[in-house]
């Protein structure tokens, strides 16, 4: 049967979107790890949260799109969505966030140098 006959294209695209969401979840957990300056235990907790969240997204998308029936093209769609996010949206998004953080730190340092700010927030 053709790929579109059974609605497989819809399922593939659905799982691809779920893979992109899993990539976004990875970006959130990686950002939390950097923000908290995670050591071994917090890094392990962040990795565990990513793994559980990605598995939950996969299972939810699988159940929603195809009633829980697992096929290889669904796994490939999920992996492709994750790879497209990691190669497409993640690098420029990470640069924008890092540049914003650096700019905010510079602003905070300049504001803290003013004497009247130190007097007000003493």
Encoding tokens for residue 37? 């300056």
CB 53 within 8 A of CB 115: no
pTM for the whole structure: 0.75
| 21-80 tens-digit pLDDT | 999 999 988 888 877 776 788 888 889 999 999 999 999 998 988 887 888 888 999 999
User: What is the Cα–Cα distance from 54 to 23, expressed in whole angstroms?
Assistant: 8
Could you tell me the sign of the dihedral formed by the alpha carbons of 63, 65, 71, 72, in that order? Answer: negative
CB 66 within 8 A of CB 4: no
Q: Where are the domains of the chain?
A: 8-87
């Amino acid at each position: 049967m053709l790929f579109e006959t059974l609605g497989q294209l819809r399922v593939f695209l659905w799982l691809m979107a779920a893979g992109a969401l899993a990539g976004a979840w990875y970006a959130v957990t990686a950002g939390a790890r950097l923000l908290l300056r995670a050591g071994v235990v917090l890094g392990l907790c962040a990795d565990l949260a990513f793994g559980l969240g990605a598995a939950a997204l996969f299972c939810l998308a699988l159940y929603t799109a195809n009633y829980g029936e697992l096929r290889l093209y669904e796994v490939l769609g999920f992996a492709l969505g994750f790879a497209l996010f990691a190669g497409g949206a993640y690098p420029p998004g990470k640069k924008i966030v890092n540049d914003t953080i650096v700019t905010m730190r510079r602003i905070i340092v300049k504001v803290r140098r003013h004497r009247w700010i130190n007097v007000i927030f003493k």
